Amino acid sequence: MDKGLWKRCVDFHGHECPGLAIGFKACEGAIEELGLAFSDDEQVVCITENDACGVDAIQVILSCTLGKGNLIYRDVGKQAFSFFDRKTGKSIRMVLKSFNGNMDRHERQEYILNAPIDEIFEYKEPRYNLPERARIFNTIICDECNEGAAEHRIRLQEGKKLCLDCFKNYDRGW
């Protein structure tokens, strides 16, 4: 384990915890399996299926960020991460395995950081293709609130261009 890198992750996240260790270990596995490195642009893409602590380690180690467009959040609540390498076309989905629930917080963190990666994660194929590169969209002013929103998030309703906050969804209760 690279203790200096762990410290950088802890400094960014604000504290040590088992969740941060999960992301740290996922990065170790992705680097080992795919030969990944720090992503200057969008060479490495991560699709995270959670918004938990481990995502901070992914930002620090692989430089996958929402702003750069190479960190994509799929809100399904799973401790799972799919990593893609645009240069090689290789990808992997890493899903956290269940393990002994009788550990305290510190023991769980140490176990995650020090156990073999394949004891912590199950390796699978991603369920989706490599996402397209981030696009830049025009800003459209909402006819209701007068705030700007990216054009792909604008909806038409009763002839008005509305942002998602002003748009009244028609789902009939489904």
Domains, in order of start, for the chain: 3-124 (3.30.1330.130), 135-174 (3.30.60)
Q: DSSP for the chain, please give it.
A: --HHHHHHHHHHHSS--HHHHHHHHHHHHHHHHH-----SSSSEEEEES--STHHHHHHHHH---TTTT-EEE--S--SEEEEEETTT--EEEEEEPP--TT--HHHHHHHHHHS-HHHHEEEE--SSPPPPPP----EEE-TTT--EEEGGG-EEETTEEE-TTT-----TT-
Segment 97-111 mean pLDDT: 89
Q: What's residue 172's pLDDT?
A: 76
Segment 101-124 mean pLDDT: 93
Segment 104-123 mean pLDDT: 94
Tell which wins on pLDDT, 37 or 34. 34
Segment 77-98 mean pLDDT: 95
Segment 51-79 mean pLDDT: 95
Segment 98-109 mean pLDDT: 88
| 155 close to 162: Cβ distance less than 8 angstroms | yes
Confidence class for position 126, pLDDT limits 50, 70, 90:
very high
Tell which wins on pLDDT, 39 or 60. 60
pLDDT at 133 over 90: no
Strands 139-141 and 148-150: antiparallel
Q: What's residue 100's pLDDT?
A: 75
Report how far residue 38's alpha carbon sits from residue 122's, in angstroms, rounded to the nearest whole number: 23
Confidence class for position 135, pLDDT limits 50, 70, 90:
confident
Confidence class for position 101, pLDDT limits 50, 70, 90:
confident
Segment 2-10 mean pLDDT: 95
Confidence class for position 174, pLDDT limits 50, 70, 90:
low
Average pLDDT of every residue of the chain = 93
Range in 121-125, 133-137, 153-157 with the lowest mean pLDDT: 133-137
